[in-house]
Amino acid sequence: MTSAETFFGGAPEAFAQAPGRVNLLGEHTDYNDGFMLPVATPQKTGVALARSQDDQHHLYSGTLDGNVTFAAKGGSAPQGFGSYIEGCIRLVEATGVEIPPLRVFVTTDLPVGSGLSSSAALEVATLRALRQLLGFKLDDVKLAQIAQRAEIDYAHVNCGIMDQMASSLCDEKHMLFIDARSLEHRLVQMPEGTELIVIDSGVPRTLAASKYNERRAECEEASRKLGVKALRDVTAPQLVEQLPEPLRRRARHVVLEDLRVLEAAKGVSPERFGELMNASHDSLRDDYEVSIRELDLLVEALRAAPGVLGARLTGAGFGGACVALCRAGQAAQAAQTALSNYNKEGRKGRILIPVPPQGKENNEPV
């Protein structure tokens, strides 16, 4: 692995970080103009920048130990981590900002493929570093919108706005209530006396992209049949019962999930928040059909652990991680109990949050 000092031949000119996100409620609602409640992860992605001495952009990922080089004027990066960075550069240039050839050094402790949105963290960190280096004005909401466009136009992932808004505006102590249509947002206190557990199932999200696009198309068709702009405009859940299958179940998940977020954002007891998380997972499993056996088993293991109030998959589904709400002071032990039960049959889950002590592997007793 190349060191930053070697890569830059000294110190970088700018450095910025951005967190990943864990979504607590509001899954598959963002592209339906709905509501979400994510929170930032303690893990972050860092991007260091310096001006290049030639006419090329030189990118290096410390995590992948990989290099990408492309022409600053008219060049393009191959698909991979470089395409996200290229998208950020080109979209800032499109606003009229002159960006010189750059050297870009990326590091992260976010697990890629676990559903914690490492891609949004990379985009937001890149844009923050560019803003710092070049001194242009860019507020945090607009930054999130540019990050989203970078992912859609350059990484070719037709994503909603939640991940980028969360990475740009979230912290670890508060949930961020987001209205995907208006981009209204506000910080909301976590349920009192609670902390989070996040465990990676060990199953890569291999189907997530293709099934995501399929679910998005199904929601658009359901909206057309109901005569609304988006499913967020359906406020009476019984209205979806007229739809043919599977559109009825897809729409029912989205409509009820929005109602769960709106209830939670007003402030509910820890016990009620846990119930809403449980209902969310059951809906994602049965109506939206984006869960898999391993995620269901992990959720069951988490729900059975002492101190856990509720658990659900987080992210697009078909692998990745699960999140649980736990009584404060019990998360480390509950996570280890759940992980031990989940891994009994040779599965490869690992604890992501609480972050294990330095020197401990994520699947070792703490």
Phi, psi of 342 (to 5 degrees): -65, -40
d(CA 145, CA 1): 33
Catalytic residue among 30, 33, 163, 179: 163
The residues pairing with 15 across neighbouring beta strands, listed in sequence order, are 48
Q: For residue 353, which of 209, 194, 160, 166 has the smallest C-alpha distance?
A: 194
The torsion of the CA quartet 336, 352, 216, 152, rounded to 10 degrees, works out to -170
Q: For residue 129, which of 165, 169, 173, 99 has the smallest C-alpha distance?
A: 99
98: left (phi over 0), alpha (psi -120 to 50) or beta: beta
3-state secondary structure string across the chain: CCCHHHHHCCCCCEEEEEEEEEEEECCCCHHHCCEEEEEEEEEEEEEEEEECCCCEEEEEECCCCEEEEEECCCCCCCCCHHHHHHHHHHHHHCCCCCCCCEEEEEEECCCCCCCCCHHHHHHHHHHHHHHHHHCCCCCHHHHHHHHHHHHHHCCCCCCCCHHHHHHHHCCCCEEEEEECCCCCEEEEECCCCEEEEEEECCCCCCCHHHHHHHHHHHHHHHHHHHCCCCHHHCCCHHHHHHCCCCHHHHHHHHHHHHHHHHHHHCCCCHHHHHHHHHHHHHHHHHCCCCCCHHHHHHHHHHHHCCCEEEEEEECCCCCCEEEEEEECCCHHHHHHHHHHHHHHHCCCCEEEECCCCCCCCCCCCC
Note if 163 is an active site residue: yes
Residues labelled as active-site residues: 163
